[in-house]
Structure 1
Amino acid sequence: MFDLALTSVTKSQFLQFLRCTNAFHLVREGIVPKPPSASFGGHLEWNQFLQLCRERFPSSATIEKTMEKEESFQKTLEWISEKKSIFHAHLRSDRYVSTVEYLEYDAERDGWILWDFRPIGSLKQDILRSFYFHKKVAEGMSLNILAFKLIRIQTKYIHPGGEIDLENYLLIEDITSRMFAEMGTRETEWEQFEEEINKTIGQSVRFSFLEAKPSCRSLKTCLSPNHCAKGKENAKEIFDFRDSSELAKGWFALGYNSYESVPNSELSPIQRIQKEVHVTGKTHFDKVAFENYLTNVTKTVAFLDFESINPYLPLYPQTRPFQHVPYLYSLHIWDSETDTLTHKTYLHEDLGTDPRISVLSQLQKDLPAGITIFSFNDFFEKLIIQETAEVFPEFLEFWERVKSMFIDLAMPFKKLWIYHPGQNGKASLKEILPCFSTESHGGLSIREGQDANYQYLRLIKKQVTAEEKKRVLDDLIAYCKLDSYGLFLIYRMILERLSVI
């Protein structure tokens, strides 16, 4: 039981409610912690992005983050009364509070424009909902809201080098007409939100995975199955079925709570494979599919993995926002006839320079010509080489030579030519590797690509000590090395199952 009337309601809670009523109450009542919203590395660029946005509005007042909460509300009221435009305006009305990135006063129309600054490439529903929340709080303060404007990133912007060209990098989008066109939808969402708050004041909330609308689509993403599916917490394995989507929720409603409980008549051919594997505990292996898949593989093969950064503030000439720029690769080369495994790696340590030329130059030397190259989701590795070659034509011949030599080692796992019960429906390298080998990313300091991205950006932005820098560089090499070595282990396992080595 929790008295919602005693505490302020924030924008993030409103958005959480629209995603899942259960989650809103679970977080609000302190039953579970608020789920993290920030991605790896976002804060490393945010302040610079914010400053670029603010440069478009000189001589505006700013509510500093160092202010106490009550002081920030009072200062905002003071400046509103003086009709000043305000960065980071703190609004409060009734039980709602919100922080608006920029509250602009329009003297000609004697009203206010709500602005948001987002380092994203496209307009999202949550932005429209956020604007509506700000609008309701502002109107509760008797502010006349005239328009809604967004500053976001122009994803087609190509950085020429040097200072970022703000006119072409930042895209100002007036979304007022879109907001008014969808106002009916927003009003319905708001009415549902207020109704939920009012009916649960001082009441015990009943959590139900099936009844809450909107709600989670899967128990796997549920914040607390112990509350939302009490007594059926372990039923979440039926949500591991591939391509089940809303079907799994229907199965759950029918009382199915395990792989074996779902009738074959309800399952697709791939899902039946999954069920059989989980019931028998035996790995599925489609020998014919693999024989066709590996028909043209060379005797000597390579296993390649890149690590990259994809900053939304471009760092290097001829790069776009969010473009993946390689700074590290790991390459294992295996001669199956001599059973010789060789490892090559390159990490760009000259942090003040563009890594692309150095990375591709060294890869050209390390990668033997005319051999099969395995990568996991090879679209990424091919895109890295292609985009680099388009900017630096000296690599075009290399790109033309290697692009047809790639084979995607993720494909057999996506198509379920092979499936291990330990995968639990997943097909990522991190999930697959421990199922078929003694290796795992669990013991590494860096365990996923997003963290590797973040750690290298920290190095570039000099947010590490000299001692920490060495450790981070070593951790990056170790992480990337295990990725390419893991590909070798998986490939060798496949060959052993085919009995060709």
Structure 2
Amino acid sequence: MNQPAPLMRRRISKSQYLRGLQCLKSLWLHNFQPQLRAPLGPGLRHILDQGHKVGELARRLYPDGFLIQAEDIAQALEQTRAALRGNAQALFEPAFLYQEVLVRPDILVKAEDCWDLIEVKASTEIKEEHVPDVAVQRYVLEGAGLPVRKACLLRLDPGYVRRGEIDLKRMFQLEDLGDQSAMALIETPSHLRDMRAALALPTVPEIEIGAQCTRPHDCDFMGHCWRHVPKYSVYNLHRARFEQIAELRQRGVMRIEDIPEGTKLSEAQRIQVRCAKTRKPHLDRQSVRKCLAELKWPLYFLDFETINPAIPPFDGLRPHQPVPFQASLHVEDAPKGTLRHLEYLAEPGPDPRPGLVDFLVKEIGSEGSIVVYNAGFEGGRLAELAACYPAHEKALLDMKSRLWDLIVPFRKHYFYHPDFEGRASMKAVLPALAPAMSYERLEIKNGEMAFLAYEALMDGSIAGEEARRTLTALKVYCGQDTLGMVEVLKALQQQAQ
């Protein structure tokens, strides 16, 4: 194992500083036991890639900017000093070091005798964690002798709608974080002292798992720190506050079924605990029947798959607006009638929405319930399509009004199975009610894998025979979602009898 460096000698980067703010144990492990870190998954890698693309676009707003390309820190520091001596008007990724704290701001812009610090984010809002991010950079810049006029966040404008070529000045929004970051700037030296003290420890700091493991981000050392936690534990308790979980842990309770009688719980939590102890399902038959009575045939079981690009790829889209590229539709014309399957998968490349709208308008009739799992998602997509395609607005909004949400009986605990393990997602409900239908046997197993596969098809990362296999796998996965809804509804109907 690596040994801690003396108290004031270990260098701390901005990313390490933000890691340390989240958890000092994570910071220590990052430095001395990095082999315990989970590998970077494709979903997180995709988020980082989108961030890089947004950063590259942001630089175009400052055409006179100079990029500090060196990755070696000593070279980057020297290139930065040379650029400052050369009267640069804007710098991209310059390097600054102060008291062994290293930062590389996204953009610095000359403002008379001072500089504006600009941190670029691919988000559409200011998040709590953005404030110390900007503050530690200002701390280092000013400590290194660079006068800073403003500390800003350059983010995507959620109100921007693409029309033709992307208008960078309208797509980005510059926010001065001076007032918000003032306290964070004052607290920075104290936080750094805490981090250096933690890094000087000969062994890992003793910090219990808690809210910091997932806020503001899932820690990549969770697999290590949570290794003693059973797959189904008090951490799966329905909508439990960490204070509630901490109290249970102080009493020595780890497993759901060990929660003692008399513990203060919500009604949903009581159902969950009782089912864990008895291994028997809970059924509120009257409420389930009331939900089922709302159904009107023919039934259309509908599911969308979407991509969620930070930079809008087509006209009529906002940053991060979901773009449906695939739909699966199972249709049951009458109770216990024949089931038929229809599907749409857009050819990667062009805007997939016009073809999807044509498919929906053609295949979904004007009568009957449209069964979805989490109506907020499908309903949101239908509303967006209606706004973008006025010729079909009436039909699409009519579809939205006829959505019937299959998740409701499970989310409201009208029916709860112990194998749900506190969840109501299709991935939790389907294996419990229809064990023969497993996503594990599929090549594409979840929505993240689906959108990553489609984006790879769009950018040409996969082609030829692999592309054909991927298109088939996408169809199988999306079809499983709607067929799964058919099976879950059948199981619910049987329970209600």
| TM-score with structure 2 setting the length | 0.89
Residue 46 of structure 1: CA displacement? 4.3
Matches within 5 A, 1:81-100: 81-84=85-88, 85-100=90-105
Counterpart check, 1:362 vs 2:359: yes
* Secondary structure in structure 2 of the residue aligned to 1:441: coil
1:23 Cα shift? Answer: 2.1
Question: Could you tell me how far apart the structure 1 residues matched to 2:140 and 2:188 are?
Answer: 15
Residue of structure 2 equivalent to 1:195: 194
Instruction: Give the equivalent residue in structure 2 for 1:16.
Output: 19
State the partner residue of 2:257: 260
- Residue 81 (structure 2) aligns with: 77
- 147, 157, 160: which one aligns with 1:157: 160
Deviations 1:400-444 (A, max 9, x none): 432332111111111111222222212211122111112122222
Map of 1:42 onto structure 2: 47
Counterpart residue number, 1:131: 134
Asked if 1:407 is matched to 2:411, the reply is no
* Letter of the structure 1 residue corresponding to residue 122 of structure 2: P
CA deviation digits over 1:59-89, x for unaligned, max 9?
2221226x44432232223223434332111
Q: Are the equivalent residues in 1 in contact too, given 2:132–2:184 (CA < 8 A)?
A: no
1:287 to 269, 285, 288: 285
Structure 1 position 380 matched with structure 2 position 383: no
Q: Which residue number corresponds to residue 468 of structure 2?
A: 470
Letter in 2 for 1:27: H
- 1:174 corresponds in structure 2 to 176
Note the C-alpha offset of 1:469.
2.2
CA contact (8 A) 1:27 1:34 kept: no
Cα distance in 2 for partners of 1:100, 1:40 equals 21
Q: Distance in 2 between matches of 1:239 and 1:343?
A: 39
Gaps of 5+ in 1: none
Instruction: Determine whether 1:59 maps to 2:64.
Output: yes
Task: Pick one of 124, 140, 155 that aligns with 1:121.
Answer: 124
8 Å Cα contact 1:360/1:385 also seen in 2 = no
Question: How much does 1:143 deviate?
Answer: 2.2
Distance 2:362 2:466 in 1: 30
- What code does the residue aligned with 1:58 have? P
Q: Alpha-carbon deviations, 1:203-249, whole Å to 9, x = none?
A: 32342317x8x84479x96766797579x634970121112112112
SS of the residue aligned with 2:145? coil
Cα deviation code 1:74-108 (max 9, x no counterpart): 222322343433211122233222221112333x2
Distance 1:235 1:410, change over 3 A: closer
Aligned to 1:208: 207
Gapped regions of structure 2 (runs ≥ 5): none
In the alignment, is the contact (CA less than 8 A) between 2:281 and 2:417 conserved in 1? yes
Given that 2:282 and 2:416 are in contact with CA atoms closer than 8 Å, whether structure 1 keeps it comes out as yes
2:419 match: 422
Relative distance call for 1:184 and 1:274 in structure 2 (3 A) is same
| One-letter identity of the residue aligned with 2:62 | F
* Change in CA separation of 1:222 and 1:118 when aligned onto 2, cut-off 3 Å: closer
CA contact (8 A) 2:115 2:150 kept: yes
Report the 3-state secondary structure (helix = DSSP H, G, I; strand = E; otherwise coil) of the residue aligned with 1:115: strand
Measured at CA, do residues 236 and 80 of structure 1 come closer, stay the same or move farther in structure 2, by a change above 3 Å? farther
Deviation at 1:310, TM superposition (A): 2.3
| Alignment pair present for 1:146 and 2:149 | yes
CA contact (8 A) 2:38 2:223 kept: no
Report Cα offsets for 1:103-136 as digits up to 9, x if no partner.
Answer: 2333x22x33211111111111222111122123
Identity within the alignment, %: 25
Aligned residues: 487
